[in-house]
Structure 1
Amino acid sequence: MDVCVIGGSRYFGRRLIEGLRDAGAAVTVVNRGSIPAPEGVTHLRADRDDEAALRAALGDRRFDAVIDQVCYTPVQAAIAARVFADRTPRYLLTSTVEVYAELARPGGPALAESAFDPATHPVDLSLPWASQEFRSDHYGEGKRQAEALLTREAPFELVTVRTAHVLGGADFTGRLAHYVERIGQGRPVGVHADPQPASFVQEAEIARFLAWAATAEFTGPVNAASQGALDVRELCAAVGRVLGAEPRLAVGAGSPFSFAGCYAVDTTRAAALGFGFSTVADWLPQAVEEARS
């Protein structure tokens, strides 16, 4: 396999690259070069927002599959559709559970892929997607529109992996560390009055899933999450067990994984396609230990 990864310079993206390389794939990484690529892969430096620079960096290269780790807007998706039109038969967009944000309801069911249909979602390329602040404030909508544009216009097979909240490893987000630090220090953790469950996935497992999905034969959206959704109270209890501390919960302002609507996702499709996810209990204690170190 000859695989191109766009982005992937840190966290589970880096683990993905190393896993593909170690499995024998020829891996090409495209990023701006701020962080060196792992040894044993081809490193191309280009800003994926600069279409001409991206084309120049790629030259005449062709790939069996492309994995896009850093597509956050429909503008970026449109550039990718044009640049990779004749370069690959298969394209994987790393998407997010945040595409379901507006569908999350108290007491709602775990969300299947059919809950959000990108084929019918509107796309607005005129919004200020070039603004980093706007992108951050509209993260979920940016992903929804990126999925929508590629679903309708991509000239290649498309897979969109809707990734649950990733925990473990070199997590730069600090979300799990928020709970580890506050519970370990005996400080209160903010929770909703009726917090709803959310799905999580371990960073090594999502890297394996992305590599598997990129080289499989199915298309369309697929949820990626470990079994066993947790609400914030259950998450705090699990952290407390590892730390040997009793969590102090304060109802009011929320915290990173306190949600008013159900953020659990259904992974029936992934299982039917042949990928069995672990359960959260299998790896959460290790993730807590990694967050405290």
Structure 2
Amino acid sequence: MKEILVIGGSRYFGRNLVTLLRDEGHAVTVLNRGSAAPPPGVGHLAADRDDEGALRAALGTRTFDVVLDQVCYTAAQAGTARRVFSGGRAGRYVMTSTMEVYDPATLPPGSPVPPAGTDSGPVAEGRIDPVRTGPPAGPWRPEGAAARYAEGKRRAEAVFLREPALPYVSVRSAHVLGGGAQDFTGRLAHYVERIAAGLPVDVHEDPYATSFIHHREIARFLAWAALGTFTGPVNAASHGPLTVTALADSVAAGLGRPARYRVVGAGREASPFSFDRAYALDNGRATGLGFSFAHTRDWLPGAIEETAGELAARTVPAP
């Protein structure tokens, strides 16, 4: 049994992660600002992670075998966590990161291209350059929510990777799908709603494939990473990358409706998961370490059915 602290873990796959670890027999504690109670059988600490004094006070003298950080978005948050949990307070630190750290569209100009098998092949785990992406911030300022999110994650990772103060893992997750109403991003629902209504899906002229993972699989992966001994970046993605049209065609098949497409011009915004650049993950490191990924075809039909069912239920008038 491990003593495990989950920072965040109140919604979507974070809640799945907490219950999975609890059901495996671990002593799990959730730390959040007190806005959401944890599941039964899970401990709770209330503190604002951005307030170092409050965080230290909430933790007291407790130590943990593993800290799973679900909500580290900035270098400042990473710096606080690094100071608070170093010195033996945490035996292992696992940060939930994102494949967006690799996205060429959000990288600062002149950044090194992450390693890949071919120019358009899946991206293997690359080093985050702390000179370019670690604090203090350079002259580049990201524009747009996606760029700010990606750069925040890059900088947070760089803080932990620079002279690591404790064993550290960054889980660079593929796009998470499934969970119906739990999925607050609404990206799969976007396709279900449009195709069900006969509306066109906006796509690039020649969209590239990208990587996905089911919400329960990423929870299972994080639990596996928490109990491992490896360190450093690791990609988490189901086998079987999909183009936006392959995703939409799967939705159409599930709904029994044809998918219609509308090609957007160069530089114009398209539907979620339509990419005009190479953007898929190589999951080879995790596979080599022993994790068994599902294939997208194994879970995507069920995720589509779940989302469609919940959307249909919302439109049924109350008796």
TM-score with structure 2 setting the length: 0.86
TM-superposed deviation, 1:290: 1.8
| Counterparts of residues 62-141 of structure 1 (less than 5 Å) | 62-86=63-87, 87-102=89-104, 103=113, 108-114=120-126, 116-125=127-136, 138-141=148-151
CA distance in 2, matches of 1:255, 1:96: 19
TM-superposed deviation, 1:205: 0.5
CA RMSD in angstroms comes to 1.9
Q: Is it true that 1:260 corresponds to 2:280 in the alignment?
A: no
Q: Does the CA contact (< 8 Å) of 2:133 and 2:151 recur in 1?
A: no
Q: Does the CA contact (< 8 Å) of 1:118 and 1:145 recur in 2?
A: no
- Off by >2 Å, runs of 4+ in structure 1: 103-107, 116-122, 124-127, 133-137
TM-superposed deviation, 1:155: 1.1
CA distance in 1, matches of 2:291, 2:193: 34
The equivalent of 2:252 in structure 1 is 240
The equivalent of 2:16 in structure 1 is 15
Q: Does the CA contact (< 8 Å) of 1:68 and 1:92 recur in 2?
A: yes
The match for 2:177 among 161, 167, 182 is 167
Q: Mind listing any 5+ residue stretches in structure 1 that lack a counterpart?
A: 128-132
Give 2:171's aligned amino acid: V
The Cα offsets for residues 159-188 of structure 1, whole Å up to 9 and x where unpaired, read as 110000000012110001000000011001
CA distance in 1, matches of 2:125, 2:168: 14
CA distance in 2, matches of 1:80, 1:203: 26
Q: Mind listing any 5+ residue stretches in structure 2 that lack a counterpart?
A: 105-112, 311-319
TM-superposed deviation, 1:126: 5.7
TM-superposed deviation, 1:125: 4.4
The match for 2:192 among 169, 175, 180 is 180
Tell me the SS of whatever aligns to 2:25. Answer: coil
Tell me the SS of whatever aligns to 1:221. Answer: strand
CA distance in 2, matches of 1:126, 1:120: 9
TM-superposed deviation, 1:153: 4.0
Q: How many residue pairs align between the two structures?
A: 287
Q: Does the CA contact (< 8 Å) of 1:121 and 1:144 recur in 2?
A: no
The Cα offsets for residues 18-76 of structure 1, whole Å up to 9 and x where unpaired, read as 00000000001100111111111110001111110000000000000000000001110
Larger radius of gyration: 2
Q: Does the CA contact (< 8 Å) of 1:123 and 1:148 recur in 2?
A: yes
**Identical columns (%):** 55
TM-superposed deviation, 1:119: 4.7
TM-superposed deviation, 1:118: 4.1
The equivalent of 2:158 in structure 1 is 148
TM-superposed deviation, 1:109: 1.1
Tell me the SS of whatever aligns to 1:113. Answer: coil
Give 1:217's aligned amino acid: T
